[in-house]
Structure 1
Amino acid sequence: MFVKEMSRQECYEVVASGDLARLACCKNDQPYIVPITYALAGTHLYCFSMPGQKIDWMRANPKVCLQIDEFSGKCKWRSVVLTGQFRELPPAGGRYSERLDAWSLLEKRVNWWEPGGLKPVPQQISGASAHIYFSVDIDEMSGRQTSEVEAGSS
């Protein structure tokens, strides 16, 4: 088994076919990583969350990183890491239509609201929706995958 670099197109295919990523954010030199469900549209990953630490941290520092893996056997995998910018899609204002697009893409996924909608402690009931939709606008993407052939050989 060998590990080789993936092309941008191969990386995009992994991201497009997946729906679960690990989102890493950072605040005051402290990293934080959580699983999120996403839907890809062009160069944007659309996501959903309830208020909490990751949202607070991304509002303070919008630079994020995501890892998306695809496994098809014990020694057969592809892994993509992408960097990008958090961008909140509020229910009012200029991003409302994009928020609706995000919702329509996410709702096609089974249990799309997990894990972003589940919290380990009871939440206060509010008259206003606490749902937060956001985009990660992709800046860079790279990946690696296993191969039975050494990279560069035919």
Structure 2
Amino acid sequence: MYSPEDEAVEPLTTETCWELLSTAQVGRLALAAGGDIDIFPINFVAHEGALYFRTAPGTKLVELTANPRVALEIDEWDDDQALSVVAKGIAERLEKTAEIDAAEQLPLKPWIPTLKYRWVKITPETVSGLRFRRAAEPERF
């Protein structure tokens, strides 16, 4: 039997996920260290199959050193739909001068007036997403 819920959630293709990542400006970075999970809002850029962000010394860098497995989530919505994309992979701080120089050419600047001169590259192992069709809740009874 057909139900409106059958069309309420639709998986996104990997290509669509990357298109959304390439146009997003802000995401949430989730990482685990010391038996706890932290989530940080970050601005980032997608480039050649990787995600890059800048950060200052602090918690994110310490946690990434302890456990480089991360997830980055973005979402967007309007009156008709909501989209969610999650990229899971390995984060590494860029150390080589050539890598940093190349990253400096990417169109990414800090959103707040702080020095963020450490570059981190996330190499996704999986990228997945969902489209949620928005509508009124169906009758319950």
- If the length of structure 1 is used for normalisation, what is the TM-score? 0.75
Gaps of at least 5 residues in structure 2 are 1-6, 135-141
The answer (yes or no) to whether the contact 1:25–1:65 under 8 Å persists in 2 is: yes
Any runs of at least 4 consecutive aligned residues in structure 1 with deviations exceeding 4 A, and if so which? none
1:67 and 2:44 correspond: no
* 8 Å CA contact 1:8, 1:142 repeated in 2: yes
Q: Is the 8 A contact 1:14 1:70 kept in 2?
A: no
Alignment partner of 1:140: what SS?
A: strand
Q: CA RMSD in A?
A: 1.9
Q: Is 2:54 the partner of 1:53? A: no
Q: How does 1:8-87 map to 2 (within 5 A)?
A: 8-71=14-77, 73-87=78-92
2:94 is aligned, of 72, 83, 89, to 89
TM-fit CA distance, 1:70: 2.1
How many residues were matched structurally?
Answer: 128
TM-score, length of structure 2 as denominator length: 0.82
* Relative contact order, higher structure (CA 8 A, sep 6+): 1
- Separation in 1 of the partners of 2:119 and 2:20? 22
How far apart in 2 are the matches of 1:99 and 1:74?
A: 40
- Cα distance in 1 for residues equivalent to 2:12 and 2:116: 39
Q: Counterpart of 1:58 in 2: which secondary structure?
A: helix
